[in-house]
């Protein structure tokens, strides 16, 4: 499809989100703040967006491209992944098609669609390429892993909107821009959202198994630069105190290559395989430590947020 056809296919499923928040200032006075962002329809009555767009919101207002306005309710969220779901009664907009972010290639053309600066009306569209994949960025004390980097312009208010490939499929959720740096924006892979959506549909809430690690996907460049013994898997760069990983004896620098005998390609693949094995209760991790392969039994933690 050409650019115009892609936009026509998805534009009606992109919405503007306005929120109201009540905060307490330093003098213990209540103050009402307003903010805005973007989102997109993933079910007839459900919108996906960033958690930081609706964080601590008292009221969530939704505006569509057709000029209709709704009041939504936060259904569930995952703060660590910066994703949130909003329930909107009577929305009745066809869900947008979700692609496969694992198939993205550097250099692939993408569109970022959203409502920059909270301007109502038809969402704006910016065009660019996938600049890099599986990037990690630090935002305060939070580490965001496995992000898509793009040079498609992402402005304040775009957060939570879709990143779309040239087949009209959603491949990411635009999430972050870096101050004082031009031409760099980040999006959360759509496969990450699919994991949460599956849990939401199965359990009625987000329940996720977690090892309590921060890791990066190993590729040829990373393996060559650090002289790693494999060019696939997950390199552990941080272990959270008190986590399942710490209890099982995992260490920083370990390389996870298999889960329950199935090869792990990268961090998203590890998350997916953990999700599919969640009902088992425990899993066996195969890892490389100092060029030796080890097998360790681990019982993932289950968390609702």
What is the average per-residue pLDDT within 197-206?
Answer: 85
Average confidence (pLDDT) over 203-209 = 85
Q: How confident is the model at residue 47 (pLDDT cuts 50, 70, 90)?
A: very high
For residues 221 and 254, the answer to whether their CB atoms sit within 8 Å is: no
CA atoms within a 13 Å half-sphere pointing along the CA-CB vector of 133 = 21
Active site residue 279: no
For the question of residue 94 being annotated catalytic, the response is no
Our answer to whether residue 260 is catalytic in this structure is no
Confidence of residue 6 (pLDDT cuts 50, 70, 90): very high
**159, 175, 199, 283: the active-site residue:** 159
Domains of the chain in sequence order:
3-87 (2.40.10.10), 101-194 (2.40.10.10), 207-303 (2.30.42.10)
DSSP string, 209-260: EE--EEEEE--HHHHHHTT-S-SSSEEEEEE-TTSHHHHHT--TT-EEEEET
Dig out the tokens for 72 from the structure.
Answer: 């939504």
Give the Å distances, CA to CA, from 119 to 82, 158, 175.
23, 10, 18
Name the catalytic one among 76, 78, 82, 269: 82
CB proximity list for 221: less than 8 A, separation 6 or greater: none
What three-state secondary structure class fits 34? Answer: strand
Decide: 190 and 99 in contact? Cβ < 8 Å. yes
The first and second tokens of residue 109, run together, are 């053309």
CA 227 – CA 291 distance, rounded (Å): 11
Q: What pLDDT, on the 0 to 100 scale, is given for residue 174? A: 93
What is the pTM (predicted TM-score) of this model? 0.76
Contact 174, 155 (CB under 8 A): no
pLDDT, residue 26, reads: 62
CA 194 to chain centre: 9
- Which is the catalytic residue, given 52, 78, 131, 151? 52
């Amino acid at each position: 499809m050409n650019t115009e056809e892609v936009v026509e296919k998805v534009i009606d499923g992109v919405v503007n989100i306005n929120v109201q928040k009540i905060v307490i200032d330093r003098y213990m006075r209540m103050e009402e703040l307003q903010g805005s962002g973007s989102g997109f329809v993933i079910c007839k009555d459900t919108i996906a967006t960033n958690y930081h767009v609706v964080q601590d919101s008292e009221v969530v207002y939704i505006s569509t491209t057709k000029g209709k306005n709704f009041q939504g309710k936060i259904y569930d969220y995952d703060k660590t992944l910066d994703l949130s779901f909003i329930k909107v009664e009577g929305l009745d907009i066809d869900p947008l098609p979700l692609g496969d972010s694992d198939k993205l290639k550097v250099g692939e053309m993408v569109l970022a669609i959203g409502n920059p600066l909270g301007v109502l009306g038809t969402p704006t569209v910016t065009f660019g390429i996938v600049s890099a994949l599986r990037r990690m960025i630090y935002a305060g004390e939070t580490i965001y892993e496995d992000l898509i980097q793009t040079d498609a312009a992402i402005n304040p208010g775009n957060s939570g909107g879709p990143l779309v490939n040239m087949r009209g499929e959603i491949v990411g959720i635009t999430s972050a821009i870096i101050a004082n740096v031009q031409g760099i924006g980040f999006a959360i892979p759509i496969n990450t959202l699919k994991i949460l959506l599956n849990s939401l549909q199965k359990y009625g809430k987000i329940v996720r198994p977690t090892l309590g690690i921060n890791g990066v996907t190993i590729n040829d460049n990373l393996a060559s630069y650090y002289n790693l013994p494999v060019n696939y898997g997950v390199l552990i760069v941080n272990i959270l105190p008190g986590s399942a990983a710490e209890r099982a004896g995992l260490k920083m620098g370990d390389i996870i290559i298999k889960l329950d005998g199935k090869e792990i390609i990268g961090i998203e693949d590890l998350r997916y395989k953990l999700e599919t094995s969640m009902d088992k209760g425990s899993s066996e991790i195969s890892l490389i430590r100092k060029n030796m392969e080890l097998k360790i039994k681990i019982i993932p933690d289950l968390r609702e947020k």
